[in-house]
Amino acid sequence: MKLYDIPVHTLSGEEGSLAPFEGKTILVVNVASKCGLTPQYAGLEELQKSYESRGFSVVGFPCNQFMGQEPGSAEEIQTFCSTTYGVTFPLFEKIDVNGDARSPIYELLTATTDAEGYSGDIRWNFEKFLVGPDGSVQRFAPQVEPQDPALVGAIEELLG
C-alpha cells in the first residue's frame, strides 16, 4: 500500500487520506503540545507559509506515546495549535507511531534511515519525514529544528 492510500482521519474526525498531497512535497511530523520540542510548531508553521505556494505542506500527527505529552482531545489540540502557534497546516487524528497499534503510515515511514544511520521506531516527538513528489523519503531526528539548513535545503531541492 502506498502512503497516499492509507486511510486517516482529520483532527475533526472526518475520513480521509494523504491522497491530496500525492505528487507534492510534504513534511510528516509526529507532534505534541506539552513537550520541550513543542516550540518547533512555530518553525513548522514558518516552513508552511514559506513553501505552501510551491506545493509543500507540513502534515502533523499528534501522538501521546512519549511521556503523555499530547493528552488533549482533538478540540484541545486544535485550539492550542491555532491560538499558541497560528498553525494552518493540516493536523490529523492522534495516532500511535510505535508498537502494535502503530499507524500504517508510520509502519512505512520508519523503514527510512536518517543521516546518522538510524531507522526503526520513532525516538521522540517531532521526528520528521520529508516525502518528495516521487515518494522518496528523508528522515530527520526530533532535535533537527525546522529551519535547520539540512532540512530547508532538502525541501528546496525537492521543490526545484
Is residue 156 situated within a structural domain?
Answer: no
Phi, psi dihedrals of residue 132, rounded to the nearest 5°: -80, 170
* Residue 159, domain member (yes or no): no
pLDDT at 60 over 80: yes
Q: What is the DSSP string of 16-64?
A: E-SGGGTTSEEEEEEE-SSSTTTTHHHHHHHHHHHHGGGTEEEEEEE--
Q: Which three cell numbers stand for residue 128?
A: 520528521
Please report which helix (H) or strand (E) contains residue 139, including its range.
strand 137-140
9-57, pLDDT tens digit by residue? 999 999 999 999 999 999 999 999 999 999 999 999 999 999 999 999 9
Provide the number of structural domains found in the chain. 1
- Is 154 among the domain residues? no
Tell me if 103 is assigned to some domain: yes
Q: What pLDDT, in 10s, does the model give residues 119-160?
A: 999 999 999 999 999 999 999 999 999 999 999 999 999 999
Note whether residue 55 is domain-resident. yes
Torsion of CA 46, 18, 106, 25, to 10 degrees: -50
CATH number at residue 27: 3.40.30.10
* pTM > 0.85: yes or no: yes
The span from the CA of 116 to the CA of 149, in Å, is 16
> What is the separation of C-alpha 104 from the centre of its chain, rounded to a whole number of angstroms?
14
Domain annotation covers residue 24? yes
Residues involved in catalysis: 35
Expressed as residue numbers, the domain containing 141 is 3-147
Q: Which uninterrupted H or E stretch holds 129?
A: strand 128-131
Residue 127, exposed/middle/buried by CB under 10 A (0-12, 13-18, 19+)? buried
Flag whether 155 is in a domain: no
Whole-number pLDDT of residue 1: 74
User: Does residue 136 form part of some domain?
Assistant: yes
